[in-house]
Amino acid sequence: MTSSLVEVCNILIGHTFDDISQRIFTKLANGGRTTFNLLKSLHFRDTAPRRLKQSLARLIQHRLVLHYTENADTDAERTYYSVDWHVAYGWIRNGRLVALVQDRHGDKAGSLIAMLLQVGHTTVADLASAFNFEAASGSKRESGTDINTAPHVNGNGAANGTHTHRERDSGSIKSIDELHYIMRKLLYAGILQKVGTHTFKPQADAEAEIQAVVMAEQFPDGKITGPRKQAEFKRSVDSLKRKWRDEEQYDEHRDADTDGTIKRPGQDAMAANKRRKMNGGSANGHGEVRADFSGPKLPNDMSIGINHARCTVALRSEQLVHYAKQYLGHTTAGVYRALLIALESKIRSIRDDTMVYEDEDYEDEAQPVASVMEVADNLDPNLDLTPPGKVTKSSNTNGGPKVKKKGAIEYDPDFADIGIKREVQSDSDDDITPIKAQGRRLDTIEQHLKLLEEHTSQFCHRPSVTGSSEWRVSFPFITRTLIQAQIDTTIQRRFGTVGVRVARMLREEGKLEEKQVAQRVLKHVKDIRSTLGLMQAAGLLEAQELPRDQYRQPTKCIYLWYFDEKKVQAQVLAQSYQGIARCLQRMDVEQTRFQQVLDKRARLRADSGEDEQRTFMMGKAGLLEEEGAPLSGVEKLQLGQWREVQEKLLAQVGRLDELVALMRDFDGGDVSMIC
């Protein structure tokens, strides 16, 4: 891990856990994997082993630390501990994740996710006991943890993403049946996952264990020679990996606690979603509808937790929708959002759809597809697909042109003498059947998808099959396009249009001499030399020295300039980490200035029993009502100043995190490991 990434994760963990947990994570992040005895003897000699184990277990509870036991069946077993920096950095997106779940699945699902983000993985029985279903209203707490409160960065603001002020009981779960219904829905959507024995293993150790099992069972001689055996070994490893993954994946029939009753496959949480769609409700969290909570319950001993890989996929979808909205507008972006949601159920993690293939055709075929009908099923019902120039029935009745109905009899003066009456056809939409309306809706959706395909970023495209109604998103291609656009924007803001032209030209042409660069950008050599030097000093360009003879004199050397995009990407990512760390540190410093009024406000909330959710991102001072709070005018002013500073810093953290998501998560490559 880079030092800047370690610094960001260390600050985030320090805001939530105690000092010992923070030190454990820092030592493991800097020193690598180690055992408990080495960790105790080298860094925690003065700490009691019991307290050290409690802090380590707390980090494992939140999946911030992974563990792998070597030689588990022998007396020489040894457990190694290592950090999961993906999950640690993901804490900065907790606010965005809660807001995403609230938007798609409702406020009650968002409150459940907020609780799991605070307590880590837990069993269904413990989760059910944390909710006091006997109480009609009020705050529900378990061990001092508010189940309806989303996590913070520093205890006073949202981690990343806005939070809307809601009523106190809007996100409270009323019954045990409703809790199991929400858990089944989130498990089916992939936001939650079953927690098993392989969940806390590092990926490298899990793959090594799978390879060892395959080698012992199918290749006892230990020889994998020749392309045929290598291909067979790879297929066996992939098959065992899928088997282990499917065993720990939630299955709505295998994992349901039916108490001996037999139900048809359609009688589950998703069947209730389909009924709500047919009744005009929404399955994506848009609007509150009454759901049928009857269904099989989950086993009490089943452990569940946040599926961080699928959450990253969902956050990537929202970010791609944001990019599409900037270029193509709100309606087309809404259709694109429905397409991405339809594809999310077919994507397990970002690494699956960003794998590097030798042939671009294989890379394209590996991406999942979704039909136009699936896009229509996931479309927001509040999204208006009507073209702007469409004349509706209501506009015709208010002074517009009169539309003739189908089968209307009209007298023509040319044929009136011979008694012929002409029957005219109607152009109105009064006679549209539901089948025709559905066809028109699908055609409109496909037109929006074609707009997305024709864009230079190619947000989606149709497979090569002729006449197919399926659509595919090439995530590697669109990621490379967006990364190049972001790097060009960064260079333009620092070095102007000349710097962008140099970067684009070197990206396309490769290594060029100084004179060749000047000729292609239509500048003099003296003018371009300063720009090349500044960009090299900033780390955006590289120079290669080629001597013309064996003496290597500087005057007789050729200097070739080239653009290393991967290195620039890692550099921009490291600078983003540094910016996030500085913003979080500045927030801590600013908080100490207003600590007295913040402590007083916290005591008042505790005495009055006010929900802590009201402290989330309320905006500036005038947006929070201080009804009955014994705060003076000066203290209210200080509280407003703190919220204003906090809002600005969190907004900057959000923008930097969007850049990190594009440079690191969308690409799927762990460039953060580059030191």
pTM for this entry: 0.78
**Residue 624: Cβ-neighbour burial (10 angstroms; 0-12, 13-18, 19+):** middle
Question: pLDDT tens, 217-251?
Answer: 888 887 888 888 888 888 888 888 888 887 777 77
Q: For the chain, what is the mean pLDDT?
A: 77
Domain identity same for 523 and 583:
no
For the chain, state the CA radius of gyration: 30
3-class SS of residue 333: helix
Q: What angle do CA 317, 318, 323 make, to 5 degrees?
A: 95
Q: Which residues form the domain of 577?
A: 568-673
Would you tell me how many other CB atoms lie within 10 Å of the CB of residue 5? Answer: 24
Q: Assess contact for 61 and 121: CB atoms under 8 A.
A: yes
- Note whether residue 316 is domain-resident: no
Domain identity same for 530 and 597:
no
Distance CA 554, CA 563 (A): 22
Q: How confident is the model at residue 605 (pLDDT cuts 50, 70, 90)?
A: confident
Q: What angle do CA 288, 291, 294 make, to 5 degrees?
A: 160
The pair of structure tokens assigned to 540 is 């955006």
pLDDT at 230: 86
Domain identity same for 503 and 544:
yes
- Note whether residue 512 is domain-resident: yes
The DSSP bridge partners found for residue 364 are none
Q: Assess contact for 636 and 620: CB atoms under 8 A.
A: no
Domain end residue (candidates: 216, 247, 278): 247
pLDDT at 340: 93
Helix, strand, coil content of the chain in percent (nearest 5) = 55, 10, 35
Of 173, 147, 188, nearest to 296 by C-alpha is 188
Domain identity same for 586 and 662:
yes
Question: pLDDT tens, 525-545?
Answer: 888 989 999 999 999 999 888
The pair of structure tokens assigned to 289 is 């509808």
pLDDT at 628: 43
Sequence-distant (≥ 6) Cβ neighbours of residue 571 within 8 angstroms: 539, 540
Please tell me which residue, 510 or 413, carries the higher pLDDT value: 510
Question: pLDDT tens, 179-193?
Answer: 889 999 999 888 999
**pLDDT at 401 > cutoff 50:** no
Range in 172-186, 331-345, 407-421, 511-525 with the lowest mean pLDDT: 407-421
Backbone angles phi, psi at 382, to 5 degrees: -85, -5
pLDDT at 653: 94
Domain end residue (candidates: 507, 530, 563): 563
Structural domains of the chain, count: 4
- Note whether residue 57 is domain-resident: yes
Range in 424-438, 501-515, 562-576, 603-617 with the lowest mean pLDDT: 603-617
**pLDDT at 398 > cutoff 90:** no
Would you tell me how many other CB atoms lie within 10 Å of the CB of residue 234? Answer: 13
**Which CATH number is 511's domain given?**
1.10.10.10
Q: At 552, which helix (H) or strand (E)?
A: none
Domain end residue (candidates: 563, 587, 619): 563
**pLDDT at 423 > cutoff 80:** no
Domain identity same for 510 and 548:
yes
Sequence-distant (≥ 6) Cβ neighbours of residue 122 within 8 angstroms: 116, 303, 304, 305
Domain identity same for 532 and 554:
yes
Q: Given the structure tokens 């909710």, which residue do they identify?
A: 131
pLDDT at 479: 87
- Note whether residue 430 is domain-resident: no
- Note whether residue 610 is domain-resident: yes
- Note whether residue 228 is domain-resident: yes
Domain identity same for 543 and 630:
no
Domain identity same for 587 and 536:
no
pLDDT at 619: 37
Q: Assess contact for 292 and 175: CB atoms under 8 A.
A: no
With helix as H, strand as E and coil as C, how does 271-291 read?
HHHHHHHHCCCCCCCCCCCCC
Domain identity same for 589 and 574:
yes
Q: How confident is the model at residue 63 (pLDDT cuts 50, 70, 90)?
A: very high
Domain identity same for 539 and 623:
no
Distances (CA, A) of 258 to 252, 265, 268, 303: 11, 12, 11, 18
Note every long-range contact of 595-599, with CB atoms under 8 Å and residues 24 or more positions apart, other chains counting: 597/631, 597/635, 597/638, 597/639, 597/642, 598/156, 598/639, 598/642
Q: At 65, which helix (H) or strand (E)?
A: strand 65-70
Of 245, 49, 318, 276, nearest to 181 by C-alpha is 276
Mean pLDDT of 277-298: 56
Question: pLDDT tens, 78-135?
Answer: 899 999 988 999 999 999 999 999 999 999 999 999 999 988 889 988 888 887 653 3
Q: Report the percentage of the chain scoring pLDDT > 70.
A: 72
- Note whether residue 173 is domain-resident: no
